Amino acid sequence: MEKPRNERAWLLVLPVCLIVAFSAILPLMTVVNYSVQDIVSPEQRVFVGWEWFKDILRDPELQAAFVRQLVFSATVLAIELPLGLSIALCMPRSGWRASLITVLVGMPLLIPWNVVGTIWQVFARTDIGLGGAALHGLGLDYNYASHSLDAWLTVVAMDVWHWTPLVVLLCYGGLRAIPEAYYRAAAIDGASRWATFRHIELPKLTGVLTIGVLLRFMDSFVIYTEPFVLTGGGPGNSTTFLSQHLSTMAVGQFDLGRAAAFSLVYFLMILVVCYVFYNLMTRGERDDLAKPEGKV
């Protein structure tokens, strides 16, 4: 059913527009303003055009941070999606046990992000942390505060711990929407567990998996708080991802022009991924309207 046109609906969205104009448009304009000027002092500003943009695109440190970011996002996606899906397949489909397990699985999602950092900071320490001490006990020379690789692996482990539950709950929701009749039909046909998964469950999960991929990509691409608390970006730069690089540039060094130019490039990347996200999500809704039973 097509929604009716009504221009007066603008009055209803006006408050949202005003508040977002204040908290998003106004600041973005300032960023644009900074990105094309060299601000020596408040009175002395020089228009420099594209210089800052050219400068940051050639900046080796930034390129390194970008590569680090991509590798990190790809790694967490590659671990969290299969793991989340496999856990969701193990969960009971109904009853009080299902509710209880949902609550237990969802717990890490509701922990404030800086506390996630704190939890892992405490857990992974070799002297007082259970995880770190256990690795030491196994004879590994593990120390996230001084070895780059250990720090990176700890951040990955933390992200997997924190966000796999989201993939689990998304997939679980998708699985529960599959009618029992499908499974009975498969059983009558003598389908193996793998065939049931491949031909019944997986096709029904495409929608939620797409959302899972995009959400996890987005959120890991702008990750800031957890590594900031856990490692502060170190040792060296091994866990400095884009957001942290940017905030150091902006607030740490007050490198206005460069930070602003990079902000715009960063924002543009997000915009592109958002556009894909938006189209995939609204396409799903249009399909649902066409065949109402297909709603996941």
Looking at residues 143 to 162 of the shown chain, list those that interact with another protein (rule: CB under 8 A).
161
Cβ pair 214, 128 in contact under 8 A:
no
d(CA 82, CA 164): 9
3-state secondary structure of 47: strand
3-state secondary structure of 237: coil
Residues 6+ apart with CB under 8 A from 250: 256, 259, 263
What is the residue-wise DSSP string for 11-27? Answer: HHHHHHHHHHIIIIIHH
Shorter beta-carbon distance to another protein: residue 147 or 284: 284
Cβ pair 164, 80 in contact under 8 A:
yes
9 binds another protein (CB under 8 A): yes
Residues 6+ apart with CB under 8 A from 40: 46
Residues 45-74 touching another protein, rule: CB under 8 A, are: none
d(CA 286, CA 296): 13
130 binds another protein (CB under 8 A): yes
Crossing angle between the packed helical segments 202-221 and 148-176, to the nearest 10 degrees: 140
Size of the site for another protein (CB under 8 A): 101
Among 34, 53, 72, 142, interactor with another protein by CB under 8 A? 34
Which tokens belong to 203? 């096709």
Stretch that binds another protein, among 43-51, 70-78, 178-186, 207-215 (CB under 8 A): 207-215
d(CA 34, CA 52): 10
3-state secondary structure of 253: coil
Residues 6+ apart with CB under 8 A from 259: 34, 246, 249, 250
Stretch that binds another protein, among 16-24, 55-63, 148-156, 194-202 (CB under 8 A): 16-24
Stretch that binds another protein, among 53-61, 70-78, 100-108, 196-204 (CB under 8 A): 100-108
Residues 229-288 touching another protein, rule: CB under 8 A, are: 229, 242-244, 246-247, 250-251, 256, 259-260, 263, 266-267, 270-271, 273-275, 277-278, 281, 284-285
Q: How far is the CB of 12 from another protein (least distance, A)?
A: 4
Residues making up the chain, counted from first to last: 296
Among 55, 173, 182, 213, interactor with another protein by CB under 8 A? 173
Shorter beta-carbon distance to another protein: residue 105 or 186: 105
Among 107, 187, 195, 276, interactor with another protein by CB under 8 A? 107
d(CA 195, CA 32): 54
115 binds another protein (CB under 8 A): yes
202 binds another protein (CB under 8 A): no
Shorter beta-carbon distance to another protein: residue 60 or 112: 112
Q: How far is the CB of 87 from another protein (least distance, A)?
A: 5
Which tokens belong to 264? 């715009």
Among 99, 140, 198, 203, interactor with another protein by CB under 8 A? 99
Shorter beta-carbon distance to another protein: residue 156 or 208: 208
6 binds another protein (CB under 8 A): yes
Shorter beta-carbon distance to another protein: residue 31 or 77: 31
